[in-house]
Amino acid sequence: MKAEQLWSLFGAEAPYEAWAFGDAPDKLAQLVLQGIKTATASSYPLYEQEGEPIPRPGEYSVILDSEDEAVCIIRDTKVTVIPYREVTAEHAFKEGEGDRSLAYWQEVHEPFFTSEMEEGGLTFTEDMPVVCEEFEVVFRPTLEDEVRVFFAGDATGHDWFHTLRVVRLSRSIAREEQADEELCALAALLHDVDDYKLTGGGFGETTNARRLMKKYGIAEETQQAVVDIIRKISFKGTDTEVPGSLEGKVVQDADRLDAMGAIGIARTFAFGGSRGQAMYDPAVKPQPDKTAEEYKTYSSTTINHFYEKLLLLKDMMNTETARTLAQHRHKVMEDFLTEFYEEWG
Ligand code: ADP
Ligand code: NI
């Protein structure tokens, strides 16, 4: 998520700056998140040159990574300005880098300050005043926050609450089927973040899921398991796939259950409206049995979508638990269609 989005999640009415650490932004941001890095240092003359005030205790910053993604919010607790040569071992320790010694701090900061000062047309000396800032992390988003922000404002039926329902359904099916509940919940949480309809990408992409899992330190093995699931769960007409793992089957079932029943009906009309699709046209007949590529570009009426996908789902469930749940939801859709045609006249 971006700095403004993280700031609005935090909910404080105060000014803030957003910035990335100048040297190794990703590594240093991770150290801040881990609570190892609680201080930083910057060249005082550069603030003077820019006419910028130095930070003050109580001020907030959003820490960014190298891709301008917001990592966390910190608040300054202490700011001192001292000559480079007087920076203490205690400060070096709080910077949390390398072996946390003063010698290591000097080893990395001297070349860093030298080149930073050169860029500003200035020269580094050991007498240069350094702004030593100490801070605390006051807000760190969760992976769930990231996904919630990602889907904010969606009006296609793929909003955050869809993902949340799929997470909950996946958990309950996983318990019944004795699948790995946490893996199901994680895959469900990320199942739509690379959906081609929302991102404009291709089938089976996993860029966003990978980026988010990496950012939140998910183990490589788990990342791979999640990616294997979400690549395959989408409905693609006659090219529809079934994930190999039990966990994938569970999440696919949960996603499909949320496409059925009263909520499924509501989501379908929301999607149709968002794409400017007609609700119903008796002259336009349903065309099931499309291949993945045909399905992707094809547009019809929203009522036709029931015959092209929604009414087929009950026979496509992978698990016994979902098959049972699907019966009632299927009936709700059939009853809805009966009423719909009756009122249509
Ligand atoms: P999957 O979750 O298998 O990727 P989709 O994302 O394609 O499935 O579909 C999710 C929901 O979006 C569908 O159940 C339906 O409510 C809606 N939807 C998708 N395509 C259409 C369409 N062409 N017309 C109406 N609704 C659609
Ligand atoms: Ni979905």
* CATH number for 31: 3.10.400.10
Same domain flag for 207 and 97? no
Same domain flag for 234 and 301? yes
Write out pLDDT tens, residues 21-61.
Answer: 988 899 999 999 999 999 999 999 999 999 999 999 999 99
pTM of the entire structure? 0.86
259 lines ligand 1 (CB under 6 A): yes
The CA 268 to ligand 1 mean position distance, Å, reads 6
What's residue 23's pLDDT? 80
> In 3D, which of 205, 164, 220 has the Cα closest to residue 188?
164
Number of domains making up the chain: 2
Q: What residues form DSSP beta bridges with 123?
A: none
Write out pLDDT tens, residues 199-249.
Answer: 877 777 889 999 999 988 899 999 999 999 999 898 777 778 899 999 999
CA angle, 65 as apex, 62 and 69 as ends, to 5°? 70
272 lines ligand 1 (CB under 6 A): yes
Ligand nearest to the CA of 160: 2
Domain that holds residue 225: 143-344
Same domain flag for 89 and 131? yes
Same domain flag for 115 and 188? no
In the numeric block, the tokens 């550069």 are attached to: 46
Lowest-confidence range among 236-245, 268-277, 304-313, 318-327? Answer: 236-245
Mean pLDDT computed over 287-299:
79
Using CA positions, which residue lies closest to atom 26 of ligand 1?
268
Using CA positions, which residue lies closest to atom 6 of ligand 1?
234
Percent residues over pLDDT 70 in the chain: 100
**Do 91 and 85 contact (CB within 8 A), yes or no?**
no
Same domain flag for 135 and 157? no
Give the residue with greater pLDDT, 299 vs 252: 252
Same domain flag for 41 and 123? yes
**Do 181 and 175 contact (CB within 8 A), yes or no?**
yes
Write out pLDDT tens, residues 97-137.
Answer: 999 999 999 999 999 999 999 999 999 999 999 999 999 99
**Do 43 and 128 contact (CB within 8 A), yes or no?**
yes
The pick from 191, 195, 239, 309 for probing ligand 1's pocket by mutation, whose C-beta has the most ligand atoms within 8 angstroms, reads: 309
> Dihedral (C-alpha) 2, 167, 271, 287: value to the nearest 10 degrees?
130
Q: How confident is the model at residue 289 (pLDDT cuts 50, 70, 90)?
A: confident
What's residue 215's pLDDT? 87
> In 3D, which of 159, 164, 231 has the Cα closest to residue 198?
159
Give the residue with greater pLDDT, 217 vs 324: 324
